[in-house]
Amino acid sequence: MQSKTPSESRTIMTDMVLPSETNPLNNLFGGELLARMDRAASIAARRHSRRITVTASVNHVAFNRSVPLGSVVTVEAAISRTFRTSMEVFIDVWMEDRFSGERTKANEAIYTFVAVDETGKPTEVPPLVPETVLEKQRYEAALRRKQLSLVLAGKMKPADATELKALFIEKPR
């Protein structure tokens, strides 16, 4: 299967925060942001695999900054690694100051999507070739994140998570 780069499926969605999408503090409601991230990540996974894709897990979401009413929000999703049928998608969220236009990182998340056929059976996806330094870092760390996600889901024995375990074992000097 022909490999692809992250930029071939990168998906960028820009929208603003409307009053119906906010919490009582007039900041973007967390569930609304999750939905926007899921949509962008789903499109990136579909572009990479050219298959039907389903969200298998949401592994890491950090709501580091609140996003005020009226902000312009950009959700950027890119495939960070592929395995046999699954794809890790890294999502960066940026907000743009209404007056200065300055862009700051608001949040990030990591989703896993699985490509499936018309019957819902997982199906193989093209390999990913990371290009930039950041893409290579995210690619490298993705195997440990997959192992952690599978262990937490009860789908992998901790003893089999070799690369994940290696993080906690100090190497002899």
Ligand X SMILES: CC(C)(COP(=O)(O)OP(=O)(O)OC[C@H]1O[C@@H](n2cnc3c(N)ncnc32)[C@H](O)[C@@H]1OP(=O)(O)O)[C@@H](O)C(=O)NCCC(=O)NCCS
Q: Which of residues 75-134 bind ligand X (CB under 6 A)?
A: 83-86, 112, 114, 116, 120, 122
Binding residues with ligand X: total (CB under 6 A): 18
Cα 42 to Cα 89: distance, rounded to the nearest angstrom = 9
**Interacting positions 132-151 with ligand X (CB under 6 A):** 146, 149-150
SS (H, E, C) 21-78: HECCCCEECHHHHHHHHHHHHHHHHHHHHCCEEEEEEEEEEECCCCCECCCEEEEEEE
Q: Which is nearer to ligand X, 96 or 163 (CB)?
A: 163
Nearer to ligand X, 153 or 166 (CB): 153
Q: Which is nearer to ligand X, 103 or 121 (CB)?
A: 121
Q: Name the minimum Å distance from CB 124 to ligand X.
A: 8
Q: Which is nearer to ligand X, 65 or 84 (CB)?
A: 84
DSSP lists the bridge partners of residue 86 as 114
Residues belonging to the chain? 173
56 binds ligand X (CB under 6 A): yes
User: What is the edge-to-edge ordering of all strands in the sheet holding 72-82?
Assistant: 11-16, 72-82, 86-96, 103-116, 52-62
Least distance to ligand X from the beta carbon of 58, Å? Answer: 9
Give residues in contact with ligand X (CB under 6 A): 54-57, 83-86, 112, 114, 116, 120, 122, 146, 149-150, 153, 155
